[in-house]
Chains A and B, each alone.
Chain A
Amino acid sequence: MAHVILRHRDVENIKELDVYVKNGGYEGLKKALSMTPEEVVNEIKAAGIRGRGGAGFPAGIKWSFMPKGDGQKYIVINNDESETGTFKDREILEGNPHQVIEGALIAAYAVGADMVYCYWRGEYMDAAYPAEKAIKDAYKAGYLGKNILGSGFDCDYHNHFGAGAYICGEETALLNSLMGNLGQPWSKPPFPAQAGAYDKPTVVNNVETLANVPPTMVNGADWYANLGTDQSNGVKIVCMSGHVARPGNYEVEMGKVTYRELIYGDEYCQGMRDGKEFKALLPSGGSGPVVLPDALDGNVSFEGLNDYGSMMGSASVIVMDEDTDMVWAALKMTHFFKHESCGKCTPCREGTFWLEKTLHRIMEGHGTEEDIKTLDRVAHSMQGKCLCALGEFAVSPVIGTLKHFRSEYVAKVRQAEAVPAD
């Protein structure tokens, strides 16, 4: 099947405006401009595009929360992409930038915004060159700016670069960062649709979410809704990394591909690296509960891992083989969350510190049984109490590995206790 999002893999140089247009580019925008904004929102609602940033919130419904009428509104594209194991949005914007610009324009038209900011993690600055060029070209060709395609619709589009902070992927932290404040999230409400960028109603959507919009406009909501499952429409890009033979991004139809196929399938990763045995995978970077071999038959969709106590999230799959030390893996993830905790709320600021400290001690061989209990307790103390989801994400690797690999922890502390302290 031809790619819907990763079209640059099928069409050479589709990042160039003329190639994009020759291949049906900006037709979705034209169609949208021929409809009323409400009709566009309804089309996206009917298509059932769900957010690809992790939470899976339906995009059409999000757009419909925007107040009607005049007044400044914004579309903000979330290209912060800093979750460990996630590298899909960069490929989309590097290879097929016009599709994102077009998607954002359709969103802007639908909600009555006349400004799009694309928030890039600062580390992607070099990768942004094609997108910068695409913006320039789109302005020249009249797809951006005043009176777009003669429709009377005006919209500007700018890139904005962050500077290294995972938390800025959280939508309110991202908006704070865009506004030049510390990149800390705020406590919702207000939601961005009520008071977002510069206190004005704002839609924040993930890059991939918006890339789904142009083909949907062109082919219709039914086409899109018919792809995938009842609850998960369309296609999804899966980022495969870790101990697999052929890591990378793979675009799959929702619900049609199992994790086993992703790892072992010829079209996909072609098996484990060095022929090792599969041990476990993290389905959503560091933040989703760890998945065991029995769950490999779960499929890639929002609901595909429900029966296995996990979830797809942003579909950044980190695969680990038989030799992986799960306490070490938990420490790596926890270190990440500790490093990235913005410090605004108490449980996350203190909790991530203690989780890392304790895991570190166990890894170093100074742990005790009491330390394992401390991990349990700290994780419990954080759950449900943090200001944003980062704190909740942070307990996931600890809780998940403690649940499924407690024996590895116990072995480590027993070994430590057997050796006299130095």
Chain B
Amino acid sequence: MSETVNIIVDGIEAEVPKGLTVVDAAKMVDVDIPVFCHHPKLEPVGMCRMCLVDIGMPMFDRETREPVMDDDGTQKINWGRGMQTGCTVRVADGMNVRTNTEGVLDARNTVIEFLLTSHPLDCPICDKGGECPLQNLTMAHGLGDSHFPFDQKMKNDKHVPLGDLIALDRERCIQCARCVRFQDEVVDDPVLGFHNRGRKLEIITYSDPGFDSYWSGNTTDICPVGALTTNDFRFGARPWELRPVASISPHGPEGENITMSTRQEAKSGGRVVIKRIMPRQNEQVNEIWISDRTRFGHHFADADGRLMTPMVRKNGELQAASWDEALSLVADKFKAAGSNAAGLSGDRMSNEDLFAFQDMMRNTVGTNNIDLANGRIAGGDVTAQVGVGTGTNLADMGAGDAVIVFASDLHEEAPIWWLRVKQAAQRGAKVFTFNVRETRLDAVAAETTLYKPGDAIDTARALLNALNVSDQKAKDGVGAIASAIADAENVVAFYGFEGLTYEETDSLSRILANVLLVNGNVGKANNGLIAVWPHNNTQGAWDMGIHPAFGPGYKALDKAGKSAADIYESGADALYVMGADPVGDGLMNGRKNVGFMVVQELFMNATAELADVVLPAQSWAERDGTFTNGERRIQLYYPAIAPMGKSKADWQIIGMLNEKMGGDKPKMAASLVFKKAIAAGVAQYKGMDYRSLAQVEKQFPDVGGADLYYGGNSYENKHGMGQQWASAAESGEVTSLDIPDAKSSKVSGIATIRTAALYTNGSLLQHSELLEPRMATPRIMINEADANGIATGDEVQVRVNGETMTLQAYVNGVAPQGVALLNGVPHVAGVIDAEITKG
């Protein structure tokens, strides 16, 4: 707490931070000033008038500046001419606030009464009923009867679609503008607005598609009434029937804290199902926001086609089998394969699964042939050394700080980081973006560096060199950026893999590590490196040692195993694929040279189709576990729904198998895997357990609590804010890192790179119907200069990785000259020399 002031609220003296609004300050001494339009994450506007209070300042004589005293010896208070809105007035030293005078209470009654005169009393059928600030405040402050004849209520359209995700109930809207302001101020997608004026004021959107924003669902949370609802949840259930379960988003590396609202229902055959996903407050991670991908992309858990039972191939067909039968077969095959076995894992698995997996492969089967099935970006070993310091909170960054974003489109890849970096820039932080093409973050960037495809490493090196030379003559280009970085107090660098090969990302991470090391921007909060991982637990996979050359905790191995690429190339006697689809992803060409293959999965994917044994796993919603986000924060999630069929948690399956092969007995619970295995086996996780991960601290602003203000906004965090693990730089010297030469892929023709789209059809999102219309259509964007007769809308054939895709062409000013951008297609690494032909 920086500067403070002393104030009096209803006679209670308090010392509160300077700059707070009266509403928030009063909250600190447990005085509730009711609000509607105010939201602590938005600029105050003072429009609903619910928070009117008496505000006085001590009186001083105009001439002498002496305090003016009352008869009783206390300083006189000047109460001003009328009530003021507590949400817009900031506290000042000596301020005196009265929230319980007759005038104040009367004002509240009248504001509520006015609001209710145009609000339908349809609480019994309203989704917000039960967590509605208007309902709550009416109970607390309303008069209970109205002076107005009821035949004059607003009669307005209900369920006006604002696009295909959100609907508006016009008569419920109380014109608080929270939704409009959220879209303008917070996420900078100003696609909602007011139309008309006076009592006809209504919310509209006119964007294409309607309500075009990755954040639209958040407006339904902060809407203080049931005016905005999601098409996912509307009429789904009553809030009080819902059981909130704390969880972590299964999408993206940011680790959004979420709450799953679940309910047991007849129409789902008595199953407990997820009715909606809402944010859970974690001011360090996602505050109270989540992207629409996280909100609406949960349907894979409940989707048709989930694997229900183990299967074993018999007579060429996969047939249902018992766990015992399936696992016995797998155990035999893997024991026999020994060091010729291999294990590939996806990076959406929990730490518990991943640890158990590599432990079994290494210590029971006896092989180091372990890797991520689809490693796109290297550098876990680098972030282990210079990753952002513990205590890092992007919300603390601002003027005087710098953020580097290299080869990543944060808006599409990690929207929460885009949001928070954008906000840091708005607070004054200098953002430097580096990419082949423009990205949305450039709008707030201090400088954008566009390099030619294949030049990423050289560009990063130039930056490093500029930082290292003491006389910075070259003040232009990267030279000027280098001086700005050198001058910055805190520096965070993000790097991704757009247009880069795996090897290039390795070099890039090390160069950026060295950039940060030059001025000691490592080992402390708000400094260090962040990899923009493709999935929710890529960081955890690195930490757990899903790597041919490292064991858990980045312990280098005496003898490295085969990498995924090697395995795809040369095969294995027995291959274990956990939570991945290398065949479907085009990485593994059939199963040639693979003697025996087991796939552990949610769905029957292309790899599973070829497997000898298929094992049904549980989705994240069905079990507990931990994910480690890109800021190396280990976060806990809890089981929300009952397991599907005979499926089991991955770590459990591995545990049972391990025992069959003569290894240890399986642990009884995920928490024990964490405590006994991970905390013991991964140095960085030492001392942690589910209890420490479940710790919470008081957060400000206080939303989602039991109070009357921000009900229905976000869930309070009662189940854990996670723990960050310390990078090596925090405890000791990390000196400059070696930089291996990466062969940059340069091409002679048009350089084609794949760019990310938040909604790209894939194994998780394909099950969310609601997002279907927003899914990025597979397309290729080319520059006008390279179009060669191709026009927007033309179908073109693009040969990538030996495969021909038919894509829509766009000549829309997005692609730089000489570059073609693939969008909405599965991952493609590096820069490729694609043949683009019309027709």
Contact = CB atoms under 8 A, between A and B. Distances in A.
B468 interface: no
A354 B117 contact: yes
A65 B45 CA distance: 23
Contact of B197 (A189, A342, A386): A342
Interface stretch (A150-158, A216-224, A343-351): A343-351
Interface string A308-349: 000000000000000000000000000000111111111101
B107 A385 contact: yes
B115 A165 contact: no
Contacts of A384: 82-83, 103, 107
A377 to B, nearest CB: 5
Interface string B76-87: 000000110100
A165 B198 CA distance: 11
Contacts of B113: 381
B148 interface: yes
Nearest to B117: A350
Nearest to B113: A381
A350 B114 CA distance: 6
Interface in A368-408: 374, 377-378, 381, 384-387
Contact of B88 (A187, A339, A354): A187
Given A346-B115, A374-B147, A385-B83, A353 B199 contact: yes
A343 B200 contact: yes
A352 B199 CA distance: 9
B148 A186 contact: no
Given A374-B147, A385-B107, A349 B198 contact: yes
A354 B111 CA distance: 13
Interface in B169-208: 174-175, 177, 193-194, 196-201
Interface stretch (B46-54, B437-445, B660-668): B46-54
B678 to A, nearest CB: 52
B53 to A, nearest CB: 12
A347 B117 CA distance: 11
A390 B243 CA distance: 47
A342 B198 CA distance: 5
Contacts of B88: 187, 189
Interface in B590-608: none
Given A385-B52, A385-B107, A350 B118 contact: yes
B768 interface: no
A182 interface: yes
Contact of B199 (A165, A186, A350): A350
B175 A349 contact: yes
A203 B728 CA distance: 57
Contact of A344 (B47, B83, B110, B196): B47
B152 interface: yes
A187 B52 CA distance: 13
Give the bracket for the number of chain B residues in contact with chain A. Answer: 35 or more
Contacts of A339: 198
Given A344-B47, A357-B152, A385-B52, A377 B147 contact: yes
Contacts of B117: 350, 354
A364 to B, nearest CB: 14
A177 B49 CA distance: 22
Contacts of B196: 343
Interface string A28-51: 000000000000000000000000
A374 B47 contact: no
A182 B110 CA distance: 26
A129 to B, nearest CB: 29
A345 B193 CA distance: 16
Given A339-B198, A353-B198, A187 B83 contact: no
A165 B201 CA distance: 14
A351 B175 CA distance: 14
A391 to B, nearest CB: 9
Contacts of B194: 182, 343
A351 B107 CA distance: 13
B110 A349 contact: no
Contacts of A353: 118, 198-199
Given A187-B45, A385-B111, A387-B47, A349 B83 contact: no
A343 B198 contact: yes
A352 B114 contact: no
A387 B50 CA distance: 11
Interface in B27-53: 44-50, 52
Contacts of A340: 197-198
Contacts of A374: 147-148
5 contacts: A350-B114, A350-B115, A384-B82, A384-B103, A385-B83
Interface of B: 44-50, 52, 82-83, 85, 88, 103, 107, 110-111, 113-115, 117-118, 147-148, 152, 174-175, 177, 193-194, 196-201
Given A343-B199, A349-B175, 7 more contacts: A187-B45, A338-B198, A343-B201, A344-B175, A345-B48, A385-B83, A385-B110
